[in-house]
Every structure is written in structure tokens, then in C-alpha cells.
Structure 1
Amino acid sequence: MTITDTTLKGLGTGTWAIDPTHTEVGFVARHLMVSKVRGSFDDVSGTVVVADDVTQSVADVTIKTASVSTGTADRDAHLRGEDFFDVEKFPEMSFRSTSFDGETLIGELTIKGVTKPVTLDVEFNGVATDPWGNEKAAFEAEGELNRTDWGLTWNAALEKGGVLVSEKIKLVLDVQLAKQA
């Protein structure tokens, strides 16, 4: 559902914090040019400040790069190393929105000290009150990026052509927010 002034009434203005236990920041990459590898980051924090004019709302997100998880310990260790996220030098990546039109969120993604624009298609899933009286809101977002734009260039050529890991990465976000007092 597009976020409009009508749906904003259900969401309300103010500050919402990312609920890390109900949020997934995921990614999908092609492996061997034929299959997909999925992963996520387990340590995500941030806020969304919803403005009276929804297009003026701002999202700020911080992700701990060491929290990358693909379900395979060796691959996760490689992703944490210098070939990819280099978590010792760059323990965090961040996203800050720059514009929002109700469907498309554009912002600046910083990985390994490199900041580039990224575009996410956003779907608003609604607002609910949990059994303890806390207001929650949920969103889904998807986008694509070329990992080499952020210096994530490691790869291996395949014997029959192609590469081990795709440059194109799909971002898949499922975000739950908690209304702040």
C-alpha cells in the first residue's frame, strides 16, 4: 500500500524506532551464476521520523557489518574479512533517506566508507497495537545495487565463463517499527 496522507493518519507523525527482533535486512546474490545465496544482518538499529508531509519523513539506519549471516560459517567469515565488509576497519554501514514519494525511498548507503545513492520500493503493511499496548508499524522494501560501487569487488572467474558471485545484489527488507513516546 502506498503511503499517503490517508494512511499516514493510521501511522501518525513522530519518531518510530526499528524493532530489531522483528526486522530483517536481507540480501540475495547469485552464486555460480545459477543459484541464489541469501543472507541478512542481525544487528540493525535506527529510526524513522514521520513528518506531517509524509514526503518529508526521514529514515536513519545503522547496521553492524559483523552481524552478517548466511547460514554458512566459512562464507560468513569471508564476508566479514577484507575481501568484502572488512569489519575490523568498517564495523558499521548506514543508510539515510534523502527523499520519499510514498512508494519510493531514495537515500545514501554507506559501506566501507563509500557513500552512494540507493533506491528502494516501499510497501506499507499497516499499524497495530501489540498485547502490551505498544504501537507498531511494518514496512517491506526492495531494491538492487551493484556491490562493486562500494568497493566490494572480490570475485573468482569460473572455468566455463562467468563469476562466482554476482555484482548485482537484491536488497530485501522487512521492517517493524515501534512508536516512541
Structure 2
Amino acid sequence: MTTSAGVSLPELTGDYVLDPMHTRIGFVARHAMVTKVRGAFHQFEGTAHLDGADPTKSTGQVIIKTESIDTGVEQRDQHLRTNDFLDAPTFPDIAFRVTQVERKSDTDYRVTGDLTVKDTTKPVSIDFEYTGNAVDPYGNLRVGLEGSTTISRKEFGVTWNAALEGGGVLVGDKVVLEFDISAIKQS
């Protein structure tokens, strides 16, 4: 198989780092039962070893700085950093470590790993689409992946909420995690 840039999958084999300038790690959560709040984490590091010949042998990890949460509203971001939610002073990192990669099709993969939020670690599966590869103007080989998954924040000890007068709660339990990844192959 040849990818969009003309590089075959086996040639993609190697070690990669996430490009923080061109990668987005975001989330979406329901607010007041009627709308969604979107946000992202702006500080993170990620590495991966991609095996183009046998993607199931690929590995990786991402470490996210909890304090870098950004929803565009500073007052809300400060609240999200407290013990009510992520407790950034006590738990400065959110971690995801890949434990399994499953190939679903030529471009679709299920990546399973251990997600640690606060002091809770649980297995999470993320469906990714391989969006291609390209050599950038600086000679770097890049690969792109897009994926998302839905988690229960309560399962990770993030339980704060407030009841609404007409019923329901202020913050939904389900959180969609979104990943738009640009990774650069290392020499």
C-alpha cells in the first residue's frame, strides 16, 4: 500500500514526537443540559513508535499538563483546575499509555491504552483515522491521525456537579476527547 505522499507504510516505521504547534488535544462536555463547552489542553508531550509493516506492534504515550486546560473563559478554567474537577496542583499530569493497536481498515485503527486522570487509571479505546503523511518544507516526515472517544468523567473521580432548578445537572458526565495529531519522525 502507498500513502498519499507516496511513502509506503513500512517506510513510516520509526520513532515520532507530537508537534505541539500542529496537534490539538481537546474535549467537549455538556453544560446545563442544553449546550456544549469545548476546550483544549495546550501543553503536552507525546512519543510513539510506529510499525508500518505491522501497526499492531506500534506503541506510544501522551502526557498532558492539567494546568494548560483552556475553554476560553478564565473563570471556568480556574474552576476546572481545582479539586472540584482536575486538581491540577495535586495531579499536574494526565497520562495515556498505549497498550494495544488494532487495525480496522487501511486507514482506521483502534488504539487502546491506560488513561490516568487524577489518581484513577482505566483502559480507554480511541478510534483513529490515519489521514496521511507528508514531507514538510524542512524535510520532516509527518503523519496525521484524527480520533475521538467518549469517557465518563465520574469513572475518573471527577464528580463535582450542581443541580439545576428545573431538573438535571450543570455538567454532563460524558466527555468527548478529541485528538488531531501531527507527529514528526525522528532521525
TM-score category by the smaller chain?
A: over 0.9
State the 4+ residue runs in structure 1 displaced beyond 4 angstroms: 5-8
**Equivalent position SS for 1:20:** coil
- Deviation at residue 10 of structure 1 after TM alignment: 6.5
Unaligned runs of 5+ in 2: 104-108
Residues 51-109 of structure 1, C-alpha deviation per residue, up to 9 Å, x if partnerless?
Answer: 24211101200000000000000000000111111111100010011111122111110
Return the TM-score normalized by structure 2.
0.91
TM-score, normalised by the number of residues in structure 1: 0.94
User: Is the contact made by 1:11 and 1:127 (CA closer than 8 Å) also made in structure 2?
Assistant: no
Cα-to-partner distance string for 1:122-179 (whole Å, 9 max, x where unaligned): 0001000111111111100110000011100000001111100000001111010000
Say yes or no: does 1:133 pair with 2:136. no
Tell me the distance in 2 between the aligned counterparts of 1:24 and 1:72: 18
SS in 1 for 2:21: helix
Are residues 1:110 and 2:116 paired?
yes
Pair 1:59 & 2:70 matched = no
Number of aligned positions between the proteins: 177
2:42 is matched with 42
Distance 1:10 1:75 in 2: 45
Question: Which structure 1 segments of 5+ residues have no match?
Answer: none
Say whether 1:97 aligns with 2:103.
Answer: no
- 2:128 matched to 1:122? yes
Q: Check 1:135–1:86 CA distance in 2 against 1; reply closer, same or farther (3 A cut).
A: same
Q: What residue in structure 2 maps to residue 168 of structure 1?
A: 174
Q: Which residue of 2 aligns with 1:156?
A: 162
Amino acid at match of 2:29: A
Name the structure with the higher helix share: 1
Contact 1:83–1:152, Cα closer than 8 Å, also in 2 = yes
**Percent identical:** 46
